[in-house]
Every structure is written in structure tokens, then in C-alpha cells.
Amino acid sequence: MSEHVAEHVPDGPGARTRNGILRGALKDGVASFLGIPYAQAPVGELRFRAPQPAEAWDGIREATAFGPTAPKRPYAPPLAALLPDPEVAGDDCLNLNVWAPWPATGPRGEGPGDGGTGEGGRPVMVWIHGGSLVHGSSALPVYDGTAFARDGVVLVSINYRLGIEGFGVFPDAPTNIGLRDQIAALTWVRENIAAFGGDPDRVTVFGESAGAISVAALLASPLAKGLFRRAVLQSGSPTARSIAKARRTTEAIAARLKVPATAEAFARVDPERLLAAQTAVTDKGSPLISGNPFFIAVDGDVVPEDPGDALADGASADVELLMGTNTDEYRLWFVPGGQADRVGPLIQRLLLRKGQIASSTAKVYRERRPQEKPGEVLGAIVTDRLLRVPLNMLADFRLHSGKSATYLYEFGWPSPVLDLRACHALELGFVFDTLDLPETRALTGPDAPQDLATAMHAAWVAFATTGDPGWRPWDAARPVMTFGPGSPTLVEAPREEERLAWGG
């Protein structure tokens, strides 16, 4: 039997990878294989080093439980109640999960499957989770891949190193280690996904928030070229910093630990003490509020130049792209802790000046939002500056390249929970079609519209399958598919006056 055909094993579905045979679990025609190592455990001499290929094993490896998560701390209150962040103990955190329709088929429709997937197998989607590069994992129930597999997609979700171990900048260690992990996982997919019925030439990489920022960096990275055919950016835009600026967070943590800002010194620090220092330094910020966050670094290697500049210059112009934002992104960060209520007109103006936002730009937002509080207007401005405007600019650049289609969406269904409305991360349960899970309902509440989830999930499946999510690609009229409130509707140039206020 070919190494790329599903393996028969006792008591469960089996798959033969290049490292050995796996036994997963089967339910309602969907096989799941969890906790598969794609690289060696990053401990000992491999800590603060680039990922090394996973070692082979003898016999059958059980793959029925999520693997260890990368070292991290949970979100601080009040976000902890809204964003569950499970932790799985262990060192072998460079692992991934696969959900696949079962029986699988081989690359030529051979094997125990029904042969209905064509010459190359089924479309594959690889999920990169968000979490500000310090939180999150593939073990979050919201990211369960069952619905994608049910609808004919082989879904892969990955873990990668976070925080100082994934994105610290040291003079004696590789840069962007977390991105290197993601590339190693995509390489594993390229080499092994046919064993699960997937087509290695039809891979879509998608991510949200820091995961989308990672996807943008992968689009600009020569080391990731050829590892995927399509990409989805959810609520994240091309963002990176110079080595010097990206290093500041590392230096701040080193100062708190009273150790040199070197990988050698950090490797001698107890992991729990390191996490405590990292949390103390980074927890005062958020994706929309200044602090000491981690950044992807422009290192001349994994990321040779700023991803936004690279993509504007035509990098990955041959990759089909779906991207978008949520209408009220800022509310996840500004509302639960009361920041939106505490910002008055004076503080708003001071923060806008600090952020170098032109007064003429702010004036447009104030005039178009007369019933909103100063903190809400500030949040809308920050959302557009960090997310909506850069993605619109990227779509415009790609339109001129004329090589592959670009599609834009906006998620607008308002959650009743804490008046969060269409906040950051709310779309995840709709994309994964996991509205029935308590972890999803923490953000959506109990009555989120299933028909909207069905439509949004189907669009992602269609994009991965054909490159077309079901609406008109980006053109001069600026079409955006809006998912809620109400039924999905194609809108041309939504809130154009506000976008034009940025000089676009």
C-alpha cells in the first residue's frame, strides 16, 4: 500500500505518515487525528532554536488527544471569561491536528475511500490561531474541524511557540521562531496530508488576529513559497517591526528578570519565572492599545522586508486571497474593562494626538457617529487604522497586479453579550460552525443565528475548494460581502467617507 493511502489499523482510522502510523478516532464519517508531532520538542538544546523535524516512531501511535500547548498564561480578567484558553501540559508543543472525511482516498482516488475527490484529493485548510502571539492554541473547542471535514475539507490546526520563546529577538538565536514553526507545520502538511485524503497542491492557510498577521508574513516569506495556494486573513493585516523595535519587548523582559537579553541567559531561567516576567511586561497592552507586545521582525531571512511593502510590490500575487474584519473589532478590548466609558473628549484628543491621527480624520468619524461616546469613536478610528484601511489598501494593490482574485468580507452580526456587538473574534464560531459549544457562546450568547454560520462556513469551504467564496471579487466598486446583521449581502464601498478620511 502506498504511503499516501489511508492505513488499516485495529479499532480506529489509521494513516501512515513519513514518521509512522497513526490511529485516530472516528465519529459520523469524520476521522480526527490529534496531537501529531511535526517537529521535535523545543526543550534542552532545541529551546530558542529553529524547529527540527519530528523523529520517527515504531508501531502505531495513538492520536486521540490534543498535544501539549505552547507555554503561555491565560487571558487576564475580564477577557478570561470571554476567551477560553485551554492548557495541555507537556514539552512536545510543536504538534498539529487533522480532521478528515473518512474513509480517505489516495492521491489518485485509490484506497478505501469513495474516489470522489478527483485527481489530487480533497482541499486542505491549515488554521493558525490568534492570541497576540502570547495566547491561544489549537486545542480550543471553537476550532474543532469536524464541520469542515463534514463538508469535504481536510482541516489541519497547529500549535506554534508563543511569546519570548517564539518571538523573542536575541543576538544568539534565530528570529521569528514561531513563524519558522508555522513553516515547519506547513512543510509537514505538504509531505503528509495525502495520507489523510488531502491534496498537497490545494492548501489554504487561514488565521485570525495574530494568526492572520502570521499568514500575511507567510505570504511575504520566500521560505513559505509553494506551501499553500490560497490564504484567508481574518481581522489581521500585514504588520511587522524592524529588528531593533521588535527587540524592545525582549529587553524589557530581560530587565525585569535582571539577566542579559540573550537566548543563552533566558534558557537558564525557570520557565514559570520567565512566563511571569513576560506576563508582567506584556499584559498592559492589547492589539488595539499600546503596551509591550511581541511583533514579527523584519529579519532579512524569514521576513526579508515589511510584509505590507512586499505584498504591495506583488509578493504572492498568484495566491488567491480572502480577507476581512468585524464591524466593531475594538469592543472586545475597550468595552469589558470599561475603557470605552472612561474615555472623554479630552482623553480622546490626547490619544489621537499620541497616535498621530490627523484631526481632519477624527472629525469625519465624530460627525458620522454623533450618538457614540468618545471612547467608541476612538475605537472605530483605531479599528480602521489597524485593520480595515490596511486590508482595503492591500486589496487595491492586488487589483493592480491582476494575477489572482481578492475577496473582502465584513462580519457585522451584533452579539448581545456585554454589548460587544460585532467584536474581535466573534466570527470564529461562525466560520468553524461551532455555535453550539459553550466556549463559543461565551462571546455569542445562546441565540446566535445558525443560518448565518451556515452561510459563512460555506463561503470558507467554497473558497478553499474553488478559490471563489461566492461573491464578486474586488474591483473598482469595492464590493464587500457583509455577514449580518440580517442575511449576507454584498455592499459596495461600506462607510466610504470614513475610509477616504485616511487619504485613500
The residues annotated with a catalytic role in the active site are 209, 329, 424
Cα angle at 28 between 25 and 32, to 5 degrees? 30
CB 456 within 8 A of CB 169: no
Bridge partners of residue 204, in order along the sequence: 125, 230
Strand ranges inside 313-395, DSSP E = 320-326
Q: How far apart are CA 230 and CA 454, in angstroms?
A: 21
Q: Please name the helix (run of DSSP H) or strand (run of DSSP E) that holds residue 498, with its range, or none.
A: helix 496-500
| Closest alpha carbon to 500 in 388, 406, 398 | 388
Q: Whole-angstrom Cα distance, residue 472 to residue 406?
A: 9
Which of 9-38 are b and which e, b meaning 16 or more Cβ less than 10 Å from the residue's Cβ? eeebbbbbbebebbbbbeeeebbbbbbbbb
Read off the C-alpha cell for 353. 494626538
Looking up cell 525557570 gives: 270
What gap in Å lies between CA 435 and CA 456, rounded to an integer?
12
What percent of the chain is helix, strand and coil (3-state, nearest 5)? 35, 20, 45
d(CA 77, CA 441): 17
Q: Is 335 helix (H, G, I), strand (E, B) or coil?
A: coil
Q: How far apart are the first and last CA of the chain?
A: 57
**Cβ atoms 333, 287 nearer than 8 A:** yes
Contact 182, 117 (CB under 8 A): no
Q: Does residue 100 contact residue 125 with C-beta atoms inside 8 Å?
A: no
Contact 165, 73 (CB under 8 A): no
Grid cell of 155 as nine digits? 482541516
Whether residue 74 has a cis bond before it, omega within 30° of 0: no
State how far the Cα of 391 lies from the Cα of 397, in Å rounded to an integer.
Answer: 10
